[in-house]
Amino acid sequence: MFTPLEGRSVIVTGGSRGIGRGIATCFARAGCKVLIASRDRVAAEETIRDLQDKPGTVSHVAVEVSDPDQCATMAATAVERHGGIDILCSNAGIFPTAKLTTMSPDELQRVMSVNFYGTVYTVQACMEELKKSRAGRVIITSSITGPITGFPGWSHYGASKSAQLGFMRTAAMEFAPSGVTVNAIQPGNIATEGLDGLGEEYLRQMTEAIPHGHLGDVEDIGNAALFFASEEAGYITGQSIVVDGGQILPESAEAMDEI
Ligand code: NAP
């Protein structure tokens, strides 16, 4: 049995939909004070309404994570509403496709700005408050794409997701003296609004490539985040956990036929 997380102050960037919503749901269910940070207020308000019956509290702050000033406002809002920050889930991300032959500098810049710089800026903005917490946690949503696998059209995305892990290892060291842990989750293909946008053919292909035979649920990632946030995981830092239904395991396409 893990020590309850009730009352912890949690920020979830990109918490209005998809994986972030799954993370926010798990922390709200655990009785935490959750601040969803995303751009579109309307989508966030719908999520907040849906989570009203959970024991925790959920509210929203508008943030563009690629803007350090807005990240500072996000952190200040959490302090104002919840008295501090215990857990930062740096999850907001985008995954547009662009093959190398046509990828423009702007496309590359945008993916790196949101996925990688956004992670750095949110961590920097929350750093001092996390250090004051008695069990500060940073939990980054990376991916299997980039650090482990590749997919044509996602060289920029994969690089941004690998960059998050490189950042995590040194950040974990810099935070270590204050007892704050910095870890990452590497989701496989998780059923989200963002993934739906990639089309039915992509979803079919991915489902066929997963030994468990189905896409992940957003709360599969939320539960991994709860584990990293737990008191009991306090000695784990600079590590990542793959949550993918076995997707990275097959050595060849034929290996799936042998199951
Ligand atoms: P999603 O359904 O598209 O949701 C993305 C969330 O991020 C939304 O809340 C969105 O809200 C927010 N967001 C996007 N750009 C933002 C920005 N510039 N500033 C602030 N918030 C922003 O995506 P998802 O599938 O849940 O993915 C979430 C994370 O998981 C990403 O980091 C992604 O790389 C990672 N991931 C996803 C999968 C998957 O299979 N779904 C697999 C591996 C990794 P607004 O648009 O309102 O800002």
CATH number of 9-243, picked from 3.40.50.720, 3.30.465.10, 3.40.30.10, 3.30.1370.30: 3.40.50.720
Using a 6 Å cutoff on CB, does residue 164 contact ligand 1?
A: no
Which value, to the nearest 10 degrees, does the dihedral of the CA atoms of residues 121, 123, 129, 131 take? -140
Structure tokens, 152: 């044509």
Closest listed residue to residue 135, CA positions, set 236, 249, 221: 236
pLDDT in tens, 146-188: 999 999 999 999 999 999 999 999 999 999 999 999 999 999 9
User: Could you state, in order of their start, the residue ranges of all structural domains in the chain?
Assistant: 9-243
What is d(CA 225, CA 231) in angstroms, rounded to the nearest whole number?
Answer: 12
**Backbone angle region of 165, left / alpha / beta, with phi > 0 → left and psi within -120 to 50 → alpha:** alpha
Tokens 């960059």 sit on residue:
163
What is d(CA 188, CA 247) in angstroms, rounded to the nearest whole number?
Answer: 7
Using a 6 Å cutoff on CB, does residue 94 contact ligand 1?
A: yes
Query: Best mutation site among 95, 97, 206 for ligand 1, i.e. most ligand atoms within 8 A of its Cβ?
Result: 95
- Kindly give the parts of the chain with pLDDT less than 50: none
pLDDT in tens, 100-116: 999 999 999 999 999 99
**Distances from the Cα of 182 to the Cαs of 110, 114, 240, in angstroms?**
24, 19, 9
Instruction: For residue 68, give the 3-state DSSP assignment.
Output: helix
**Alpha helices per DSSP H over 215-252:** 218-229
Three-point CA angle 166, 167, 171, nearest 5° = 125
Nearest ligand 1 atom to alpha carbon 115: 32
